[in-house]
Amino acid sequence: MTTDLTDLTITQARDKLRAGDISAVQLTQAHLDRIHALDPQIRAFLTITDEKALDAAAQADQRRQQGDDAPLLGIPLAIKDVLITKGVPTTCGSHILEGFVPPYTGTAVQKLFDAGAVMLGKTNTDEFAMGSSTENSGYFTTHNPWDLDRVPGGSSGGSAAAVAAGMALGALGTDTGGSVRQPAALCGISAIKPSYGRVSRYGLIAFASSLDQIGTFGRTVEDVALLLGTIAGHDPRDSTSMPLPVPDYSAALTGDIRGLRIGVPKEYFIGGLQPEIERAVRAAIEQMAAGGAEVCEISLPHTEYALPVYYLIAPSEASANLARFDGVRYGPRHSQGEMWPTYKATRGQGFGHEVKRRIMLGTYALSAGYYDAYYLKAQKVRTLIKQDFEQAFEKVDVILSPTTPTTAFKIGEKADDPLQMYLSDVFTLSASLAGIVGAVVPCGYDDDGLPIGLQVIGPAFDEPTVLRAAHAYQQATDWHTRRPPL
């Protein structure tokens, strides 16, 4: 019975709970059992909240008996450990926040709780969400459920691995330059990075404030849409959250894409793209055309600048955001008797190599004499990248592309080569810089049986069209039904 319950989608589990076939306590216990059986090898969780989860499940069962039918009542989920959770450690995968237990819960997570969701635990992440492989976690590396010698992607690798391995029905992650989409592709699951401003960032520990966005993971587009609909919406506590109505994302999943205009960007099919990925993505585009979509080639001419632009803007914002971690207000303090030596010791011992690298890059780019040459110029090129998409969306409704240049690489393979690691996000950075929607669905496997992800990009705040296109593809294929050989 346990295996069956952890093999469900969110919508299947919800139907069983509504029908009274299973209880939230049974469903939660099945997932906790699976976590304790599998997580010693996968290492997706930094904190497992058994007791809190079972209490929340019991409350969900009680609410249902009283006639409550909230959309996620009794659904067990995982939360990336950069999202603030009251009474549960929130570390951002960093030793500088070791032992930090927040006094409040962030908006997105609170909305899940209000809808009846059960939190199983907090998932591993690259430190402060800086990385593409979860190898930069200050605690341990998460392993890909499809091949334990490989990375799950990053920085939301723990959330993606937990869903792929059946240890959670869905999860929250965050995406600054690809950190939801890239691990979803490498772990063979579905996910969405919504438009910048669609989901409140209140309670998300900031990496790069003009880029960070909370996204959702699930086995199907249906699940991803349900989770997104729950957490989306305006929040007066986040000045970047847009005061727009939230559409019914689930209602958008009609399966009909007749007349949908699909753009295929020539700049995304480049040298260095793994041949199996190109084949799988092109086959997916043909599948969409067979479903009645109109396909045409488009150009996004400033794509080649996305990587350098991102690695100026994101580290600059990180250097400002991470200045608050000094051992004075929260986290461990390495006291040296005086203020400056204490700051230096605390930050020197608390931050890992990648975080230090990005703080130094960003501080340099913002320094007097270099601000105009680097940061300001990067912001101008960012505008050109955004305009590329705006012009493309005058001709097409969505853009289809690969999500990653390769399938999951071996743990340690790129650890000593930051540039190779940064290139893992080459297809996801542009959409983040432009603040637009990006979803991912599985579209095949390579010769080693590793998953390949199709990226569906759409205009700002047009999540319904992106989800409709991704769902229609998923309805016509069965890639999403495959499970890792655990």
The conformational region for residue 146 under phi > 0 = left, psi -120 to 50 = alpha, else beta, is: alpha
**76-80 vs 170-175, strand pairing mode:** parallel
| Residues 138/161, Cβ–Cβ less than 8 Å | no
Q: Which of 94, 133, 156, 179 is catalytic?
A: 179
Q: Which of 94, 132, 133, 155 is catalytic?
A: 155
| Residues 471/253, Cβ–Cβ less than 8 Å | yes
To 10 degrees, the CA torsion angle through 119, 44, 86, 14? -10
| Residues 113/60, Cβ–Cβ less than 8 Å | no
Integer Cα distance of 474 and 281 in angstroms: 13
Q: For the packed helices 463-476 and 221-231, what is the interaxial angle rounded to 10 degrees?
A: 160
Integer Cα distance of 397 and 295 in angstroms: 10
DSSP state of 206: P
- The DSSP code sequence of 77-120 is EEEETTB--TTS---TT-GGGTT---SS--HHHHHHHHTT-EEE
Q: Quote the strand ranges of 254-323, DSSP E.
A: 261-265, 294-298
| Residues 314/306, Cβ–Cβ less than 8 Å | no
Q: Which of 16, 80, 122, 193 is catalytic?
A: 80
Q: How many CB atoms lie within 10 A of CB 315?
A: 26
The end-to-end CA distance of the chain, in Å, is 17
Query: Is 80 a catalytic site residue?
Result: yes
Main-chain phi, psi angles of 257, to 5 degrees: -120, 20
Question: What are the counts of helices (DSSP H) followed by strands (DSSP E) for the chain?
Answer: 16, 11
Instruction: Give 296's contacts (C-beta < 8 A, 6+ positions apart).
Output: 261, 262, 263, 264, 395, 396
Instruction: Give 161's contacts (C-beta < 8 A, 6+ positions apart).
Output: 42, 44, 123, 134, 142, 143, 144, 145, 152, 167, 183, 187
DSSP state of 332: -
Integer Cα distance of 258 and 183 in angstroms: 30
Integer Cα distance of 366 and 385 in angstroms: 21
Active site residues: 80, 155, 179
